[in-house]
Structure 1
Amino acid sequence: MEDVQKSQASIAMPIDRVGVKGLRLPIVVRDRESGTQHTVAEVSLSVDLPAQFKGTHMSRFIEALEHWEHALDYNSFRTLLDDVAERLQARNAHVRFEFPYFLRRRSPVSGANGMMDYACRVDGYLKDGRLTFTLGADVPVMTVCPCSKAISDEGAHSQRAEVRIRTRFDGFVWLEDLIEIAERAGSCQVYSLLKREDEKYVTETAFANPTFVEDVVRETAKGLSEHPKIKWFKVEVESFESIHNHSAFAVIESQPA
């Protein structure tokens, strides 16, 4: 049968990335407490396309996933990227997995257990045989505005913020490490289950530790920079303001190692 994808492109222009996204796949990730955790990822895969080719072979991305072992770690990720590049005859390949990661959190006073989910992601970019591997987590925290607290006779405005971490590292880093660094940076940790005594604790703890979005991003960056294995990071904090019709945000990116 005719291979139309390999025919001459009418516009001879290289494409940086072409591929598929929105795929859902069961995967296994490493869990510090239990060893492994089963979850579901949304996957995107892409490659570069030289100027002379009309198109890429989309079915080969799916074939690569079907032959992959579904256990998400550095070595298996490298294997998947190598396979994608080989099947598509590409110099560069990119794979992204976005998935919920679950941790059971104990409420601070009552000790009641509740499951928290964190949006995590892994990116792999294979360029000329060299793999760049990035691990990330989006972590909710509570913040209380220091300015509002300082100028108000009663109370202060508080809101949920999200700490978005992206890291590169040597060796192995637990997702729990990233999550815990972020949670320590806010006015207080966020929980899924709070009894009245827990809510009292969270409110009082947060109001005793007011934080601007700038404080949260700096504290997170400090924690990441002190991690012995992390060699590069980018952290963005977005505060979903409760008294404004907009968000506040702050970003810190480290220098490449």
Structure 2
Amino acid sequence: MNQRDAKLPIADVQASADTRQLAIDQVGIKSIRHPVRVAERAGGVQHTVAMFDMYVGLPHQFKGTHMSRFVEILNAHEREISPDTFRVMLREMVKKLEAQSGRVEMTFPYFVNKKAPVSGVASLMDYEVTFIGEIQDGVETFTLKVLVPVTSLCPCSKKISERGAHNQRSHVTIAARTNDFVWIEELIDVVEGQASSELWGLLKRPDEKYVTEHAYDNPKFVEDMVRDIAAKLNGDKRVDGYVVESENFESIHNHSAYAMIAKPPGKA
């Protein structure tokens, strides 16, 4: 490149006009990894790696959006990501890209140090967590989504069997639209408290005995799980709406059992 070429303006093709009269609902970047630090309820800070999806709405008159700006916004926060800074990043993205709507999703593994119920031996349990921030028609919302693995034991199997009852690992997901701060651990506690039994990363023999008997004494259908969890969320004024799902990976069938309860924001 000679000196004359260096002084020439570089064309901004994305900002050029488009004549097809078709707005795009979401345009941006998907699946970009970035290190983050997330606050723990116990007072510490957890270092983890998150997968980000970042989108804005594109008006019909523009040909494209500026993809590099998404990465610039992400890197500007220097790894300090919390629900509050996450909201700030969402607002910055919409403003910087001159959009009327936007959405950011941040998914990451989150670890909780848990002690086994009898022996007290400590181990880490991992959970999949997603922050979802959205601005639509000037309204900003935040959703905290947590996937919690638990044990469920079939009430029917227990009732009809002379010995034992079949159980399964279940994945319970809460996606809670919140109006105030909620700890990740709080949603985990809600799910684990309504399961036949929670899970631990490490169990000794006395712990295994406890877990087996505890699950047997606390049978739950997949329908029971979502209803009991929804009832708990209904009593939390910080939760405006939610989707509660449970998928039970059956041990005696080649399919899963599934149930879902959704409460739209604003519905009593």
Shorter-chain TM-score: what band?
A: over 0.9
Shift of 1:207: 0.8
Give the SS at the match of 2:112. strand
Residue pair 2:142, 2:179 contacting (<8 A) in 1 also: no
SS of the aligned residue for 1:245 comes to coil
Which residue does 1:2 correspond to in 2? 11
Contact 2:83 2:131 in 1 (8 A): no
1:6 is paired with a residue whose SS is: coil
Q: Output one character per residue of 1:62-109: Cα deviation in whole Å (capped at 9) or x when no partner.
A: 111111243233431222112211221111111010011110010111
* SS of residue matched to 1:24: strand
Counterparts of 1:98 and 1:71, CA distance in 2 = 15
User: What SS class does the counterpart of residue 4 from structure 1 fall into?
Assistant: coil
Q: After the TM superposition, which residues 210-249 of structure 1 pair with which residues of structure 2 at under 5 Å, given as runs?
A: 210-249=219-258
Aligned-partner SS, 1:56: coil
Give the equivalent residue in structure 2 for 1:118.
127
Question: Does the residue aligned with 1:80 lie in a helix, a strand or coil?
Answer: helix
The CA distance in 2 between the partners of 1:20 and 1:77, in whole Å, is 16
Distance 2:194 2:63 in 1: 49
Match of 2:14, SS state, is: helix
1:205 paired to 2:179: no
> Which stretch of the first structure deviates more once superposed, 62-71 or 239-248?
62-71
Q: Partner residue of 1:14?
A: 23
- Structure 1 residue 175: Cα displacement: 0.8
- The Cα RMSD (Å) is 1.4
8 A contact 2:177–2:265 mirrored in 1: no
Match of 1:150 in 2: 159
Deviations 1:113-141 (A, max 9, x none): 11001101100001243211111111011
**Unaligned 5+ residue runs, structure 2?**
1-9
- Stretches of structure 1 that go unaligned for 5 or more consecutive residues are none
For the Cα contact (< 8 Å) 2:151–2:196, is it kept in 1? Answer: yes
Distance in 1 (CA, whole Å) between partners of 2:81 and 2:235 is: 26
Counterpart of 1:52 in structure 2: which amino acid?
Q
List, as ranges, runs of 4+ consecutive aligned residues in structure 1 with deviation greater than 6 Å.
Answer: none
Aligned AA for 1:35?
G
Q: Give the equivalent residue in structure 1 for 2:168.
A: 159
Number of the residue aligned with 1:53: 62
Q: Using the aligned pairs only, state the percent identity.
A: 47
What CA distance in whole angstroms lies between the structure 1 residues aligned with 2:78 and 2:244?
31
Q: How many residues were matched structurally?
A: 257
2:4 is matched with which residue?
A: none
> Could you tell me how far apart the structure 2 residues matched to 1:195 and 1:113 are?
11
The letter for the 2-side match of 1:44 is: D
1:183-236, CA deviations, whole angstroms, 9 ceiling, x for partnerless residues?
011111111101111111101110111110001111111111122422222111
For 1:128 and 1:243, how far apart are their aligned partners in 2? 48
Question: What is the CA–CA distance in structure 1 between the aligned matches of 2:171 and 2:87, rounded to whole Å?
Answer: 30
Which region of structure 1 is more displaced relative to structure 2, 203-212 or 26-35?
26-35
* DSSP 3-state at the match of 1:72: coil
If you compute each CA radius of gyration, which structure gives the higher value, 1 or 2? 2
Give the TM-score taking structure 2 as reference length. 0.92
Structure-2 residue corresponding to 1:137: 146
- Once the two structures are superposed, residues 135-191 of structure 1 have per-residue CA deviations (whole angstroms, 9 ceiling, x without a partner) of 111101101111111112221111000110011223211111100000011111111
Q: Aligned residue for 1:81?
A: 90
For 1:129 and 1:255, the matched residues in 2 are separated by 19
